[in-house]
Structure 1
Amino acid sequence: MRQHKGMRPQDIVILLKIVILGNQEWQFQDLARSLFISGAEVSESLNRSSLAGLIDYNRKRVNKISLFEFLQYGMPYVFPQSPGRMTRGMATAHSHPIFLEKIISSEIYVWPDIGGKDYGQAIEPLYPNQVKAAKDDPTLYEVLAMLDVLRTGRSREKKIALKYLSKLLLHDLSREHKEDTDSEGITW
Protein backbone atom coordinates (compact mmCIF):
# COMPACT_ATOMS: atom_id res chain seq x y z
CA MET A 1 0.00 0.00 0.00
CA ARG A 2 1.30 3.44 -0.92
CA GLN A 3 1.95 5.84 1.95
CA HIS A 4 -0.17 9.02 2.05
CA LYS A 5 2.17 12.01 1.72
CA GLY A 6 -0.38 14.84 1.69
CA MET A 7 -1.06 16.94 4.77
CA ARG A 8 -3.70 15.76 7.22
CA PRO A 9 -5.55 18.00 9.69
CA GLN A 10 -3.71 16.63 12.75
CA ASP A 11 -0.40 17.63 11.13
CA ILE A 12 -1.24 21.29 11.71
CA VAL A 13 -2.17 20.60 15.34
CA ILE A 14 1.10 18.76 15.95
CA LEU A 15 3.15 21.62 14.46
CA LEU A 16 1.29 24.20 16.54
CA LYS A 17 1.81 22.13 19.70
CA ILE A 18 5.56 22.17 19.00
CA VAL A 19 5.44 25.96 18.60
CA ILE A 20 3.50 26.30 21.87
CA LEU A 21 6.14 24.20 23.66
CA GLY A 22 8.73 26.77 22.64
CA ASN A 23 12.20 25.83 23.90
CA GLN A 24 10.97 22.94 26.06
CA GLU A 25 12.54 19.58 25.24
CA TRP A 26 10.07 17.04 23.84
CA GLN A 27 9.97 13.55 22.40
CA PHE A 28 7.46 12.06 19.97
CA GLN A 29 5.75 10.25 22.85
CA ASP A 30 5.34 13.55 24.75
CA LEU A 31 3.46 15.00 21.79
CA ALA A 32 1.46 11.80 21.39
CA ARG A 33 0.36 11.79 25.04
CA SER A 34 -0.54 15.48 25.14
CA LEU A 35 -2.51 15.31 21.88
CA PHE A 36 -4.08 11.88 22.50
CA ILE A 37 -2.73 10.35 19.29
CA SER A 38 -0.27 7.51 18.71
CA GLY A 39 3.49 7.96 18.60
CA ALA A 40 3.51 6.39 15.14
CA GLU A 41 1.03 9.00 13.92
CA VAL A 42 3.23 11.79 15.33
CA SER A 43 6.21 10.34 13.46
CA GLU A 44 4.27 9.99 10.19
CA SER A 45 2.87 13.48 10.62
CA LEU A 46 6.30 15.03 11.10
CA ASN A 47 7.53 13.18 8.01
CA ARG A 48 4.69 14.73 5.97
CA SER A 49 5.41 18.15 7.47
CA SER A 50 9.11 17.81 6.65
CA LEU A 51 8.25 16.90 3.07
CA ALA A 52 6.02 20.01 2.90
CA GLY A 53 8.80 22.22 4.29
CA LEU A 54 6.91 23.05 7.48
CA ILE A 55 9.50 21.51 9.83
CA ASP A 56 13.26 20.99 9.50
CA TYR A 57 14.85 17.70 8.43
CA ASN A 58 15.50 16.77 12.10
CA ARG A 59 11.75 17.16 12.69
CA LYS A 60 12.33 19.42 15.70
CA ARG A 61 12.10 23.05 14.53
CA VAL A 62 8.95 24.38 12.86
CA ASN A 63 9.31 26.71 9.88
CA LYS A 64 7.01 29.31 11.44
CA ILE A 65 6.83 31.63 8.45
CA SER A 66 5.76 28.82 6.12
CA LEU A 67 3.30 27.51 8.69
CA PHE A 68 1.76 30.96 9.12
CA GLU A 69 1.42 31.33 5.33
CA PHE A 70 -0.25 27.93 5.14
CA LEU A 71 -2.67 28.84 7.92
CA GLN A 72 -3.45 32.21 6.35
CA TYR A 73 -3.92 31.10 2.76
CA GLY A 74 -4.48 27.34 2.87
CA MET A 75 -6.53 26.54 5.95
CA PRO A 76 -9.92 27.72 4.62
CA TYR A 77 -9.41 25.79 1.37
CA VAL A 78 -7.68 22.61 2.52
CA PHE A 79 -9.67 22.05 5.74
CA PRO A 80 -12.92 24.03 5.26
CA GLN A 81 -15.79 23.66 7.70
CA SER A 82 -19.43 24.68 7.71
CA PRO A 83 -21.42 24.84 10.94
CA GLY A 84 -23.51 21.72 11.44
CA ARG A 85 -26.34 20.52 13.65
CA MET A 86 -27.10 21.95 17.08
CA THR A 87 -25.30 20.06 19.84
CA ARG A 88 -23.69 20.33 23.26
CA GLY A 89 -19.96 20.92 23.24
CA MET A 90 -16.90 23.07 23.83
CA ALA A 91 -16.97 26.62 22.41
CA THR A 92 -14.73 27.24 19.41
CA ALA A 93 -14.06 29.77 16.64
CA HIS A 94 -15.58 33.18 17.47
CA SER A 95 -17.47 31.58 20.39
CA HIS A 96 -14.22 30.88 22.30
CA PRO A 97 -13.93 33.03 25.45
CA ILE A 98 -10.94 34.93 24.01
CA PHE A 99 -13.29 36.47 21.43
CA LEU A 100 -16.12 37.48 23.77
CA GLU A 101 -15.12 41.15 23.93
CA LYS A 102 -13.84 41.32 20.37
CA ILE A 103 -16.66 39.79 18.32
CA ILE A 104 -20.37 40.01 18.95
CA SER A 105 -22.36 37.19 17.39
CA SER A 106 -25.59 35.40 18.15
CA GLU A 107 -24.21 32.21 16.61
CA ILE A 108 -22.41 29.77 18.90
CA TYR A 109 -19.99 27.23 17.45
CA VAL A 110 -18.89 24.17 19.42
CA TRP A 111 -16.84 21.03 19.05
CA PRO A 112 -19.27 18.22 19.87
CA ASP A 113 -18.58 16.98 23.40
CA ILE A 114 -21.12 15.23 25.59
CA GLY A 115 -19.63 16.89 28.68
CA GLY A 116 -19.55 20.35 27.10
CA LYS A 117 -21.20 23.31 28.81
CA ASP A 118 -22.10 25.22 25.63
CA TYR A 119 -24.86 24.58 23.11
CA GLY A 120 -24.44 25.59 19.50
CA GLN A 121 -23.73 24.56 15.95
CA ALA A 122 -21.23 21.73 15.55
CA ILE A 123 -17.80 22.41 14.08
CA GLU A 124 -15.96 19.20 13.26
CA PRO A 125 -12.61 19.06 15.11
CA LEU A 126 -9.46 18.62 13.04
CA TYR A 127 -8.90 15.16 14.56
CA PRO A 128 -10.91 12.83 16.84
CA ASN A 129 -9.28 13.54 20.23
CA GLN A 130 -8.86 17.28 19.77
CA VAL A 131 -11.36 18.16 22.52
CA LYS A 132 -9.42 16.08 25.09
CA ALA A 133 -6.15 17.79 24.13
CA ALA A 134 -7.75 21.25 24.25
CA LYS A 135 -9.15 20.60 27.73
CA ASP A 136 -5.62 19.81 28.96
CA ASP A 137 -3.89 22.80 27.35
CA PRO A 138 -5.56 26.25 27.40
CA THR A 139 -3.05 27.72 24.93
CA LEU A 140 -3.66 24.90 22.47
CA TYR A 141 -7.40 25.46 22.94
CA GLU A 142 -7.03 29.14 21.99
CA VAL A 143 -4.94 28.31 18.94
CA LEU A 144 -7.34 25.62 17.73
CA ALA A 145 -10.25 28.04 18.14
CA MET A 146 -8.31 30.53 16.00
CA LEU A 147 -7.91 27.85 13.32
CA ASP A 148 -11.66 27.33 13.35
CA VAL A 149 -12.11 31.06 12.76
CA LEU A 150 -9.95 30.67 9.66
CA ARG A 151 -12.05 27.67 8.59
CA THR A 152 -15.46 29.25 9.23
CA GLY A 153 -15.15 32.96 9.92
CA ARG A 154 -15.89 36.18 8.18
CA SER A 155 -13.22 38.63 7.04
CA ARG A 156 -12.99 40.67 10.27
CA GLU A 157 -12.94 37.55 12.44
CA LYS A 158 -10.18 36.05 10.29
CA LYS A 159 -8.16 39.25 10.59
CA ILE A 160 -8.32 39.04 14.39
CA ALA A 161 -7.35 35.36 14.39
CA LEU A 162 -4.45 36.00 12.01
CA LYS A 163 -3.16 38.79 14.24
CA TYR A 164 -3.09 36.39 17.21
CA LEU A 165 -1.50 33.59 15.18
CA SER A 166 1.06 36.03 13.78
CA LYS A 167 2.12 36.95 17.30
CA LEU A 168 2.39 33.29 18.29
CA LEU A 169 4.28 32.16 15.21
CA LEU A 170 6.25 35.18 14.11
CA HIS A 171 7.00 36.94 17.39
CA ASP A 172 7.81 33.93 19.63
CA LEU A 173 5.28 34.68 22.35
CA SER A 174 4.60 30.99 22.99
CA ARG A 175 2.88 30.77 26.39
CA GLU A 176 3.66 34.38 27.33
CA HIS A 177 0.70 36.56 26.42
CA LYS A 178 1.74 40.18 26.26
CA GLU A 179 -1.02 42.73 25.87
CA ASP A 180 -0.95 44.83 22.75
CA THR A 181 -3.55 47.08 21.17
CA ASP A 182 -3.80 47.24 17.39
CA SER A 183 -5.09 50.01 15.13
CA GLU A 184 -8.68 48.78 15.50
CA GLY A 185 -8.49 48.96 19.29
CA ILE A 186 -8.30 45.19 19.69
CA THR A 187 -6.28 44.29 22.78
CA TRP A 188 -4.22 41.10 22.87
Structure 2
Amino acid sequence: MFKGEDVVLLLKLSASGPEWTVRTLAEETGIPRSVVHRALKRLAAAGLLDEGRRRVNGSQAEEFLIHAVKYIFPVVLAGESRGVPTAWAAEPLVDHIASAPSELAPVWPDPKGRQRGLALRPLHEAVPEAARRDPTLGESLALVDALRLGDARIRGVAAELLTKRLTESAPA
Protein backbone atom coordinates (compact mmCIF):
# COMPACT_ATOMS: atom_id res chain seq x y z
CA MET A 1 0.00 0.00 0.00
CA PHE A 2 1.51 3.31 -1.10
CA LYS A 3 1.75 6.26 1.23
CA GLY A 4 2.17 9.95 0.49
CA GLU A 5 5.81 9.99 1.55
CA ASP A 6 6.52 7.46 -1.21
CA VAL A 7 5.59 10.04 -3.85
CA VAL A 8 7.60 12.77 -2.11
CA LEU A 9 10.68 10.54 -2.02
CA LEU A 10 10.17 9.31 -5.59
CA LEU A 11 10.24 12.91 -6.79
CA LYS A 12 13.26 13.72 -4.62
CA LEU A 13 15.15 10.67 -5.88
CA SER A 14 14.28 11.39 -9.51
CA ALA A 15 16.20 14.67 -9.24
CA SER A 16 19.10 13.20 -7.21
CA GLY A 17 22.19 11.28 -8.14
CA PRO A 18 23.10 7.88 -6.69
CA GLU A 19 24.98 9.41 -3.75
CA TRP A 20 21.89 9.73 -1.52
CA THR A 21 21.55 7.99 1.81
CA VAL A 22 18.54 7.44 4.03
CA ARG A 23 19.97 10.05 6.38
CA THR A 24 20.39 12.71 3.65
CA LEU A 25 16.90 12.05 2.28
CA ALA A 26 15.46 12.43 5.78
CA GLU A 27 17.36 15.67 6.39
CA GLU A 28 16.45 17.17 3.01
CA THR A 29 12.75 16.28 3.14
CA GLY A 30 11.98 16.46 6.86
CA ILE A 31 10.59 12.92 6.77
CA PRO A 32 11.86 10.69 9.61
CA ARG A 33 14.58 8.16 8.71
CA SER A 34 12.50 5.12 9.60
CA VAL A 35 9.69 6.37 7.35
CA VAL A 36 12.18 7.05 4.53
CA HIS A 37 13.57 3.52 4.85
CA ARG A 38 10.11 1.91 4.64
CA ALA A 39 9.16 4.16 1.69
CA LEU A 40 12.29 3.13 -0.22
CA LYS A 41 11.36 -0.52 0.29
CA ARG A 42 7.83 0.10 -1.05
CA LEU A 43 9.21 1.99 -4.09
CA ALA A 44 11.61 -0.87 -4.84
CA ALA A 45 8.90 -3.51 -4.41
CA ALA A 46 6.71 -1.61 -6.89
CA GLY A 47 9.53 -1.45 -9.44
CA LEU A 48 9.81 2.35 -9.23
CA LEU A 49 13.28 2.29 -7.64
CA ASP A 50 16.24 0.17 -8.70
CA GLU A 51 17.95 -0.34 -5.34
CA GLY A 52 21.07 -1.91 -6.86
CA ARG A 53 21.72 1.01 -9.19
CA ARG A 54 20.25 3.52 -6.71
CA ARG A 55 18.10 5.27 -9.27
CA VAL A 56 14.47 5.78 -10.19
CA ASN A 57 13.04 3.71 -13.04
CA GLY A 58 11.99 6.71 -15.12
CA SER A 59 9.33 5.30 -17.42
CA GLN A 60 7.58 3.47 -14.57
CA ALA A 61 7.75 6.56 -12.36
CA GLU A 62 6.28 8.69 -15.15
CA GLU A 63 3.41 6.26 -15.70
CA PHE A 64 2.72 6.03 -11.96
CA LEU A 65 2.82 9.79 -11.33
CA ILE A 66 0.76 10.81 -14.34
CA HIS A 67 -1.84 8.06 -14.38
CA ALA A 68 -2.14 6.53 -10.90
CA VAL A 69 -1.43 9.12 -8.21
CA LYS A 70 -4.75 10.92 -8.60
CA TYR A 71 -6.60 7.66 -7.86
CA ILE A 72 -4.39 6.45 -5.02
CA PHE A 73 -4.24 9.88 -3.34
CA PRO A 74 -7.53 11.66 -4.07
CA VAL A 75 -7.66 15.36 -3.32
CA VAL A 76 -8.82 16.41 0.14
CA LEU A 77 -9.80 20.08 0.23
CA ALA A 78 -10.62 22.00 3.38
CA GLY A 79 -11.66 25.59 3.94
CA GLU A 80 -9.75 28.78 3.40
CA SER A 81 -6.26 28.78 4.90
CA ARG A 82 -2.89 30.46 4.86
CA GLY A 83 -0.26 28.37 3.20
CA VAL A 84 2.20 27.59 0.42
CA PRO A 85 0.80 27.77 -3.14
CA THR A 86 0.53 24.49 -5.03
CA ALA A 87 -0.85 23.07 -8.29
CA TRP A 88 -1.48 25.84 -10.86
CA ALA A 89 -0.86 28.59 -8.27
CA ALA A 90 2.83 27.60 -7.90
CA GLU A 91 5.87 27.43 -10.14
CA PRO A 92 6.17 26.16 -12.81
CA LEU A 93 2.45 26.16 -13.71
CA VAL A 94 1.71 29.71 -12.58
CA ASP A 95 3.42 30.92 -15.78
CA HIS A 96 1.38 28.55 -17.99
CA ILE A 97 -2.12 28.69 -16.47
CA ALA A 98 -4.15 31.85 -15.96
CA SER A 99 -6.63 31.64 -13.08
CA ALA A 100 -9.50 33.96 -12.31
CA PRO A 101 -8.53 36.76 -9.88
CA SER A 102 -11.49 35.92 -7.64
CA GLU A 103 -10.65 32.20 -7.55
CA LEU A 104 -9.01 30.89 -4.39
CA ALA A 105 -5.70 29.26 -5.25
CA PRO A 106 -4.89 25.85 -3.78
CA VAL A 107 -2.38 25.99 -0.91
CA TRP A 108 -0.71 23.52 1.42
CA PRO A 109 -1.78 24.72 4.89
CA ASP A 110 1.26 26.15 6.64
CA PRO A 111 1.56 28.87 9.31
CA LYS A 112 4.71 30.16 7.55
CA GLY A 113 2.85 30.44 4.24
CA ARG A 114 2.21 33.88 2.78
CA GLN A 115 -0.80 33.22 0.55
CA ARG A 116 -4.43 32.66 1.45
CA GLY A 117 -6.24 30.03 -0.50
CA LEU A 118 -8.18 26.82 -0.45
CA ALA A 119 -6.42 24.29 1.79
CA LEU A 120 -5.25 21.15 -0.03
CA ARG A 121 -4.00 18.38 2.22
CA PRO A 122 -0.43 17.61 1.07
CA LEU A 123 0.80 14.10 0.36
CA HIS A 124 2.80 14.22 3.61
CA GLU A 125 2.83 16.76 6.44
CA ALA A 126 6.51 17.53 5.70
CA VAL A 127 5.72 18.79 2.18
CA PRO A 128 5.58 22.57 2.89
CA GLU A 129 8.93 22.47 4.71
CA ALA A 130 10.48 20.16 2.11
CA ALA A 131 9.36 22.57 -0.63
CA ARG A 132 11.04 25.47 1.20
CA ARG A 133 14.28 23.47 1.57
CA ASP A 134 14.27 22.24 -2.05
CA PRO A 135 12.38 24.48 -4.51
CA THR A 136 12.82 21.94 -7.33
CA LEU A 137 11.10 19.29 -5.21
CA GLY A 138 8.39 21.81 -4.33
CA GLU A 139 7.74 22.47 -8.02
CA SER A 140 7.52 18.75 -8.77
CA LEU A 141 5.10 18.25 -5.88
CA ALA A 142 2.99 21.16 -7.18
CA LEU A 143 2.89 19.46 -10.60
CA VAL A 144 1.68 16.24 -8.98
CA ASP A 145 -1.01 18.22 -7.12
CA ALA A 146 -2.08 19.73 -10.45
CA LEU A 147 -2.43 16.20 -11.82
CA ARG A 148 -4.54 15.28 -8.79
CA LEU A 149 -6.71 18.41 -8.72
CA GLY A 150 -6.77 20.04 -12.13
CA ASP A 151 -9.09 19.81 -15.09
CA ALA A 152 -8.02 18.15 -18.35
CA ARG A 153 -6.12 21.21 -19.62
CA ILE A 154 -4.21 21.70 -16.38
CA ARG A 155 -3.44 17.98 -16.13
CA GLY A 156 -2.12 18.00 -19.70
CA VAL A 157 0.29 20.87 -19.07
CA ALA A 158 1.35 19.41 -15.71
CA ALA A 159 1.97 15.98 -17.27
CA GLU A 160 4.08 17.54 -20.02
CA LEU A 161 6.20 19.53 -17.54
CA LEU A 162 6.60 16.59 -15.16
CA THR A 163 7.60 14.25 -17.99
CA LYS A 164 10.20 16.79 -19.12
CA ARG A 165 11.62 16.97 -15.57
CA LEU A 166 11.78 13.18 -15.23
CA THR A 167 13.42 12.82 -18.65
CA GLU A 168 16.01 15.55 -18.03
CA SER A 169 16.99 14.08 -14.67
CA ALA A 170 17.28 10.50 -15.95
CA PRO A 171 20.84 9.15 -16.11
CA ALA A 172 22.37 8.92 -19.58
Please say whether Structure 1 and Structure 2 have the same fold, judged by a TM-score greater than 0.5.
yes
Residue 15 of structure 1 pairs with residue 29 of structure 2: no
Where in structure 2 are the equivalents of 1:21-60 lying within 5 Å? 21=16, 23=17, 25-58=19-52, 60=54
Q: Report the structure, 1 or 2, having the larger strand content.
A: 2
Q: Residues 70 and 114 (structure 1 numbering): CA distance in 2 closer, same or farther, change over 3 Å?
A: same
| Number of aligned residue pairs | 168
What do the CA deviations read for 1:84-127 (whole angstroms, capped 9, x no partner)?
20000010001114223311113311000112110000000111
Residue 72 of structure 1 pairs with residue 69 of structure 2: no
Partner of 1:3: none
AA aligned to 2:143 is M
Is there any run of 5+ residues in structure 2 with no aligned partner, and where?
Answer: none
Is there any run of 5+ residues in structure 1 with no aligned partner, and where?
Answer: 1-5, 175-188
* TM-score, with length taken from structure 2: 0.91
* Matched-pair contact (CA < 8 Å) for 1:46–1:59: no
Distance 1:68 1:115 in 2: 31
Distance 1:101 1:42 in 2: 33
How far does residue 10 in structure 1 lie from its aligned partner after superposition? 0.6
Where in structure 2 are the equivalents of 1:20-169 lying within 5 Å? 20-21=15-16, 23=17, 25-58=19-52, 60-105=54-99, 106-169=103-166
Of the two, which has the highest radius of gyration? 1
How large is the Cα RMSD of the aligned pairs?
Answer: 1.6
* Matched-pair contact (CA < 8 Å) for 1:47–1:59: no
Distance 2:141 2:35 in 1: 19
Q: Report the structure, 1 or 2, having the larger helix content.
A: 2
Distance 1:117 1:162 in 2: 27
Distance 2:104 2:117 in 1: 7
How far does residue 168 in structure 1 lie from its aligned partner after superposition? 1.2
How far does residue 82 in structure 1 lie from its aligned partner after superposition? 4.1
Counterpart of 1:111 in 2: which secondary structure? strand
Identity over aligned pairs, percent: 36
Distance 2:10 2:76 in 1: 24
What do the CA deviations read for 1:34-79 (whole angstroms, capped 9, x no partner)?
1111211111111111111111143711111101101111011110
Distance 1:55 1:171 in 2: 17
Runs of 4+ in 1 over 3 A off after TM superposition: none
